[in-house]
Structure formats: C-alpha cells, structure tokens
Chains A and B, each alone.
Chain A
C-alpha cells in the first residue's frame, strides 16, 4: 500500500499554512514527520485525516483518492482527549465500534491493548482517575484498536517515561514489521532515528527535506570529514587549519572538527596538507550527521 500526499495547500483566514506539501510512504515502513513547533505538521496530519479539507492537492492510496473513513486508520491526535468520566474499557469499545469493529472484536482488541500497556487492572476505572502518563497510554491504545492498516501518531512519545516509551517503541517496531504504514511526528530525534526509514522535514509549511534517512545522512556527509588532532585542542587546530589550508570550511561539535571539502578538493589532498603541517592525527574519518544535526542545520534558528 502506498500513501501519497500530493501538492497539498491549506490556508486559514487568508494566510497560507501549507505550501505544496508532497511525500509518500509505503506499508511496512515508518515515516518520521519532523518540524519545529508551528511548522505545519499537525495541520498536514489533520488534513490527511479529513479534519480539515485541503484547498488544493490530493491524498492517494495506491493511486486512488484516500478517504480515512474507508480504511482502518489508527490516529493519535496531538490534542489528546478522551472521556474523563467514562470507564476506560467502555469508551475504548465505543471508539472501536464507531470505526466499524464488531462489539466482540472491539472488546477483545481493547482488552489486549490495555493488557499490553499494563492497564488491565484499570479497565473499569474512570479515565480521570489515572495518572497523566497512564492516560497517555490509553490514548495510544485507542489509536491501535481494530488492527489498523495505517497508523498516524502525532507526538506519541510526549509525556511517556522511559519504560513506557520502550513499550511504545516495541509496539511501533512490531507494527512496522507487521507491514503497517506508520507516520509519526516527534521532536525526539532519537526515536525517529531508531525506526524511521523515511523522514520528511517541514518548515514554515514547506517540505525542506524528504527521503530515505540513510541516504540523506550519506549525502549530507559525503564531502565532510571528522578530524581530531592528538596534541591540539579543537580551537588550536581550527586556527591552524584556517591559516594554512585552503578550500575547506570548518565546523565543529563537542568532540571534533567537521571539515567540509570545497572546490573539488579530495580527502587525499587534505590528508597530504595535514601531514605537511606535521599535525599528529588522532582521527580522520568520514562524517555522518545525526538526525539532530540535520534538523538544526535545516530548520535551525538562522532559517526561522
């Protein structure tokens, strides 16, 4: 199953929020939808879920128009909410049946997910009696009811402690392995990096980066190297390189200098220059940016 988002535009009160948003995702893969606060992630997801209607563009599933009500879609909105005064199992069964499940299957599915999230004891409790973290787990459980084919999770990890985050990670990995189509937005890059094959980075309503995460990392690291000198600090090394070596741009992180090769300069030429300067090299390796680096680079403060 391939879900395609094609040239989606959306305005509110004359202000354009989404500009030609396009990406696609296939079953058995997870796509991380990234962006700063207010970048347009939630609006895109709501438009996909038909909460808002797009001004133009289309959503296609296997080439045909996508209507979320015709598929088993598990959706966790950014704005969390369930009935505080209703019993947990009762309302989960209600949501599952509203989406077309048989009451018996709905009950079995709700009980399974409550058990999985360690909330079986609370199935007849009112939601408002649970802690915030446990309420969050019930929210996630409602998104997973009915064995959905498509799972859309808006910030699923926010509010979860490390133990519960691990449970959710396992669930997402299982879903991906089970051939489901998973889209989730998050600010926690480590989670996205851990199990997303594809990423889509959105900034001010425009897609700024989209594709396979490994390829993106490889491409962004192609002309870059990580350099550490054993007898010089990063700052000393940086000053030396700036004075003595041409055709490079220098950046650094907490551990090393990151050298970008300019004007067709090769790694061998750089290595030769370093040896000429009698710099004792501790590390001279290819550089692969972390997702966090990519995020900051693409939508950091200077882009705002």
Chain B
C-alpha cells in the first residue's frame, strides 16, 4: 500500500508535468471560456438591429420599391404593415433599373393581392423579403375575406392570441431540461476514457519499451505499480476535467446576464444532487474499469508504436458504450439501453443517462453498480497478472488470447 502511494505520486507528477497535457489543457480551457462568452460577444459586437426604418415585418422600407399592376391592391393597403413612405414606381422597367443601380435592394411587382414578383440584384442566404411580403399579402387577403363575411378581423386576432396559463409538474425526470447537461457530461466522460486510457497504455508500453519494467518489478510488486499508475492517470484526468469545467463555469458566471433563459433552464434545471452523485459514481468506477483494461493491453506490446493497434478492441468496446448512450439520449427507456445499463462495460454511460432522463428504481442502480465494482476488481487483478506476464516477454507482442492462456495455465509458475 505504501508503494502504491509512491507510484501514484510519481506517475501523477509525470502526468501533470507533461508539456502536452499542460498545453492541451490550457488551449481547451481558453476554447471553453470563449464558447461561454459567445452570448456576450454577440450582444456587444452584433447588437440587435434597432434601425428605426425597419418595420415589424423585419423589412427596411427605404430599401424597397413597389409597382402595382392592378387596382385590387394599392400602396395605401400596405401602409398598416410598411408605413406611408413607400417608393412607388410607375412601371416595372424603372423599378428594375433602381434595383440594378443599387438604389433599392428589392423591388416588388404586385399583380394582385394573391400574386407578386420579387426583383433582387443578389439574394443572400438569409434574405426574407419575399417571405415577408407573402405574409403581408396573406394578412390583407385574410382581413378582406373576414370583412366580406361580416367578421371583425381584430376579434379573430384577439381570440387567436389568447394567453393560456399552463403549469407542468414533472414527478419523474424532465428529459428536455436534462438533455444539454447530460450531453456535456457524456462528452466529458468520453474524453476522459479515450485520452487517459491511451495515456495509461502508452505509459505501460513505454516502461517495457525502455526496459524500465525490469528495474520496477525487482523494486516493488506489480500490483503497486499497476494500481498506482491507473489511479494516478484517473486523478490526472479528473483534475484536467475539473479545470475545463471550472473555465466553463467561470465563463458562464461572468457572462450569465447575456444568456437566453432557455439555455439557463437546459443547463441547470436538470441538476440535482442525486443525479450528480449517480453520475459521479458510475463514471468513476467505469473510468477505472476502462483504465485497467487499457493498462492490460499496454502490457502486451513491446513497442510504444504498437499501442494504438493493441488498444483498438477496448476503444471499439467504449464506442459501443457511447453508441448506446447516444441512442439512450433519444430513447432512454428502450430495452437496449436498459440492458446496457447493467453491462459493466456500457453501464458507465448508459446508467447515468437513464437516471438523468427517466426514473430508475434504486434496486436497478444497486445491481448495476455491484456488477461494475466486481468486474473492475476482477479486471484490476487480471491487469496485474498481464502486467507481470508482459514483463517476462521482452521483444514479443502477446495477443490477449495467448496472455489469457498463459495466465490460466497450470504449467506457468512465473505469475
């Protein structure tokens, strides 16, 4: 136990002193901080257009021109919607000329109340003039039709916009409000497992590649080495993640006045202590489970460059867990997600997602957690055996299958 702490401190110090880890963390913190500042940046640098000439339909009347081809619709009919300073052209040619010369941006040739042509020099991605004019003509036609039928259009408007007071009491979980929070946490776990799993396996393989392993296993027992290493990497990852979350939280609190209400609701309405505890428990144990797996496979190779291919099976396994989690975001009660929340390799994400988005009985949580803890302990013991086996096979790349055969072989007395 004493040596576990020594290995842990040495490895943690190595991780935190790695230039790549420091630079990556700094860059990611800056990026996250900038992302949290986006609402402020938009508010400061791109304030909402308060051009007085822009009307309620979002059109700038000074940039528009009109030609009326029939008497059924005149400029006076548009005053209510566009004001009384419309540029009216006698014919389509003069209208086109001003559009071409850039005097106006959009010309409307109004044939009657149900048909018109928009003339634009260029149409940008977000041009809304045609849609706006369509809405105006639809309103005019609707109001005229109501009046002909003896119905007051204002009454219809009032009735259509009647406010209904609605309250929603969610007794279980609110999937809508928990969605963003769940998604952020899932990405964080993904980053932790893939990045620090790779760190662990590379670290083990490098010890073998550099022949440090022989000095290590003659200095202390393999259990202390592997457990210290895995826990150091686990904590290193959590420390880095904490810094990233901290920069996000700092950015949010500095910019919160500019955040729309719906984002605030999506971020924090889902937060509850039991949800956070469930998440922390499952991801911590699952994270350790994967790190032990990564450490085992790192022990099987003799060269650092072989690590990538050696750990592919675990990465694929974790991708399956991630896939189930993504699927679970939309269908948290689906049978696949429910089964996945009990399988230790997929429960790392599946169970927290089920818990965030639906109501999960406490018994199911306990069963899933127990299975996960037992599997993690088993994998920890197995990884120590594989590490010890790896130290005996310099220069050879062992397959997982042959490693298992050797570990469980009665003839092998080296373990």
* Among A51, A75, A95, contact of B391 (Cβ-Cβ < 8 Å): A51
Query: Per-residue CB proximity of A40-60 to B under 8 Å, as 1/0?
Result: 000000100111110100000
With both chains docked as a complex, state the minimum distance between the C-beta of A22 and any C-beta of chain B, in angstroms: 20
Q: A95 vs B6: C-alpha distance in the bound complex, in angstroms? A: 10
With both chains docked as a complex, state the minimum distance between the C-beta of B215 and any C-beta of chain A, in angstroms: 6
List of A residues within 8 angstroms of B358 by Cβ: none
* Among A49, A80, A90, A99, contact of B211 (Cβ-Cβ < 8 Å): A80
Given A52-B414, A82-B212, A83-B210, the answer on whether A94 and B6 have CB atoms closer than 8 Å is: yes
Q: A81 vs B213: C-alpha distance in the bound complex, in angstroms? A: 8
Determine if A86 and B14 form an interchain contact, defined as CB atoms under 8 angstroms apart.
yes
Q: Which of A66-81 contact B (CB under 8 A)?
A: 68-69, 73, 75, 77, 79-81
Q: Which of A98-112 contact B (CB under 8 A)?
A: 98-99
A133 contacts B by Cβ under 8 Å: no
Q: Which of B188-235 contact A (CB under 8 A)?
A: 207, 210-221
Closest B residue to A99 by beta carbon equals B219
Determine if B210 and A75 form an interchain contact, defined as CB atoms under 8 angstroms apart.
no
Determine if B218 and A75 form an interchain contact, defined as CB atoms under 8 angstroms apart.
yes
Determine the interface band of chain A, counting residues with CB < 8 A from chain B: 20 to 34
Q: Dominant SS at the A interface?
A: loop
With both chains docked as a complex, state the minimum distance between the C-beta of B129 and any C-beta of chain A, in angstroms: 63
A204 contacts B by Cβ under 8 Å: no
List of A residues within 8 angstroms of B210 by Cβ: 81-84
Determine if A55 and B10 form an interchain contact, defined as CB atoms under 8 angstroms apart.
no
List of B residues within 8 angstroms of A85 by Cβ: 14
List of A residues within 8 angstroms of B13 by Cβ: 90
Given A79-B211, A81-B211, the answer on whether A98 and B216 have CB atoms closer than 8 Å is: yes
Closest B residue to A87 by beta carbon equals B17
List of B residues within 8 angstroms of A77 by Cβ: 211, 214-215, 218
B351 contacts A by Cβ under 8 Å: no
With both chains docked as a complex, state the minimum distance between the C-beta of A43 and any C-beta of chain B, in angstroms: 11
* Among A53, A79, A142, contact of B413 (Cβ-Cβ < 8 Å): A53
* Among B14, B207, B220, contact of A98 (Cβ-Cβ < 8 Å): B220
List of B residues within 8 angstroms of A81 by Cβ: 207, 210-215
Residue of A46, A49, A51 with most partner-chain B CB within 10 A = A51
Q: A75 vs B218: C-alpha distance in the bound complex, in angstroms? A: 8
B100 contacts A by Cβ under 8 Å: no
B7 contacts A by Cβ under 8 Å: yes
Q: A51 vs B210: C-alpha distance in the bound complex, in angstroms? A: 17
Q: A49 vs B219: C-alpha distance in the bound complex, in angstroms? A: 10
Determine if A95 and B218 form an interchain contact, defined as CB atoms under 8 angstroms apart.
no
B392 contacts A by Cβ under 8 Å: yes
A134 contacts B by Cβ under 8 Å: no
List of A residues within 8 angstroms of B14 by Cβ: 83, 85-86
With both chains docked as a complex, state the minimum distance between the C-beta of A174 and any C-beta of chain B, in angstroms: 23
Q: A223 vs B7: C-alpha distance in the bound complex, in angstroms? A: 59
Q: Which of B7-46 contact A (CB under 8 A)?
A: 7, 10, 13-14
List of A residues within 8 angstroms of B3 by Cβ: 98
Determine if A53 and B214 form an interchain contact, defined as CB atoms under 8 angstroms apart.
no
Q: A83 vs B214: C-alpha distance in the bound complex, in angstroms? A: 12
A164 contacts B by Cβ under 8 Å: no
Determine if B212 and A49 form an interchain contact, defined as CB atoms under 8 angstroms apart.
no
Determine if A79 and B214 form an interchain contact, defined as CB atoms under 8 angstroms apart.
yes
Closest A residue to B415 by beta carbon equals A53
* Among B212, B220, B392, contact of A51 (Cβ-Cβ < 8 Å): B392
Q: A60 vs B6: C-alpha distance in the bound complex, in angstroms? A: 30
A97 contacts B by Cβ under 8 Å: yes
B394 contacts A by Cβ under 8 Å: yes
Q: A97 vs B4: C-alpha distance in the bound complex, in angstroms? A: 12
List of A residues within 8 angstroms of B7 by Cβ: 98
* Among A51, A82, A95, A142, contact of B217 (Cβ-Cβ < 8 Å): A51
With both chains docked as a complex, state the minimum distance between the C-beta of A258 and any C-beta of chain B, in angstroms: 42
Q: A95 vs B392: C-alpha distance in the bound complex, in angstroms? A: 20
With both chains docked as a complex, state the minimum distance between the C-beta of A104 and any C-beta of chain B, in angstroms: 14
Of the A-B pairs whose beta carbons lie under 8 Å apart in the complex, a sample of 9, sorted by A's number, is A51-B392, A52-B414, A69-B220, A75-B215, A81-B207, A83-B14, A83-B212, A90-B13, A142-B215
7 tightest CB-CB pairs across the interface, nearest first?
Answer: A81-B211, A79-B211, A98-B219, A81-B212, A77-B214, A81-B210, A98-B220
| Besides the known contacts A50-B218, A79-B214, 5 further A-B residue pairs in the complex with CB atoms under 8 A apart | A51-B217, A51-B392, A77-B211, A77-B215, A97-B6
Measured CB to CB, the residues of A under 8 A from B are 46, 49-53, 55, 68-69, 73, 75, 77, 79-86, 90, 94-95, 97-99, 142
Measured CB to CB, the residues of B under 8 A from A are 3, 6-7, 10, 13-14, 207, 210-221, 391-392, 394, 413-414
